[in-house]
Amino acid sequence: MRTFPFHLGRHPGPSRPARGIAGFTLLEMLAVLGVFLLALAMVLPGLNGVLDGRTLDAATAQAASDLRLARQQAITANRDVIVRIYEIPEGAGWAMRGYQSFLPDTGGAAPRALSAATFLPPGVRFSTQADETTLLTLPGQTPDAAAPALPPPVARNYRYRTLLFRANGTPLRGFCLTLRPMRGSAPGRTIAIDEATGRITVFTP
C-alpha cells in the first residue's frame, strides 16, 4: 500500500493576485499631471500679484518713513532739507529707484548728506508717469565733481530730481510719488506730500 506524506499546515498553493488593488496606467498619470499643471498655471499669476503687492507695500512704507524723517530733520534743525530722487541705469534704460536726504549748499559748500542712499527693492521703481510722480515736472540734474558717488556700479552715473522741505516742515510745493513694479500689473502705491502742511500720506488700492 502506497502512502503519501501528509504535512500539517496550509499548503501554499498557487499565488493569486490581490483583489481591489490596481495600479495607475501611464495615460492616467499623464492626465493627473496635466490637471495639476493647469491648476498651477491658474494660481501662479494671483500668487505673483500677492508677492508684488507685499513688496510694494514694504517699499512704500519705508520710503514714506524716510520722507517723514527728512521733514522732521528740517523742523528740528530749523533749516531746509532736500531729498534727491535718483534715476539710475537699469537694463537698457533708466529707472527712478533711489533717494537720499541732504542739507543744501551753504556758502558754496557741497550739500551734506543726512542719510545714506537708499534703493528700492529689485523690481520696484518710482513711476515715470508725470501724473503719478509729479516730481517729474522738475528738471533733472546730473552730478558734478563734488556730488557724492553712489555705491558701485552706479558711482556718478546717475541723474536726480530734488524735493525740498522748508524749516517749518512744508514742501516747496506739493508732490506725489507712485511706486510700481517694473513688471506685472500690480496696482501702484502713492505717497502724497501736502503742500500746505507737509503731511505725508500713503494711498494704497
In a domain, 91, yes or no: yes
pTM of the model: 0.73
1 or 118, higher pLDDT: 118
Give the confidence band of 152 by pLDDT, cuts at 50, 70, 90: confident
Alpha helices in 12-102 (DSSP H): 26-77
Q: Structural domain of residue 103, as residue ranges?
A: 46-203
In a domain, 6, yes or no: no
Please give the pLDDT value at position 118.
96
Give the confidence band of 38 by pLDDT, cuts at 50, 70, 90: low
Q: CB within 8 A of 73, min separation 6: which ones?
A: 81, 101, 114
Gap between the Cα atoms of 10 and 44, Å rounded: 58
Gap between the Cα atoms of 196 and 173, Å rounded: 8
Question: Is the pLDDT score of 47 beyond 60?
Answer: no
In a domain, 69, yes or no: yes
In a domain, 9, yes or no: no
* pLDDT 10s digits, 2-16: 555 545 555 555 555
Cell of 61: 512704507
The domain that holds 155 is classified in CATH as 3.55.40.10
Q: How many domains does the chain have?
A: 1
Q: Are strands 118-119 and 112-113 parallel, antiparallel or unpaired?
A: unpaired
In a domain, 116, yes or no: yes
Give the confidence band of 168 by pLDDT, cuts at 50, 70, 90: very high
* pLDDT 10s digits, 91-129: 888 999 999 999 987 676 788 999 999 999 999 999 989
In a domain, 7, yes or no: no
In a domain, 24, yes or no: no
Give the closest residue to 183 by CA, choosing from 120, 124, 116: 124
* pLDDT 10s digits, 57-98: 999 999 999 999 999 999 999 999 999 999 999 888 899 999
In a domain, 17, yes or no: no
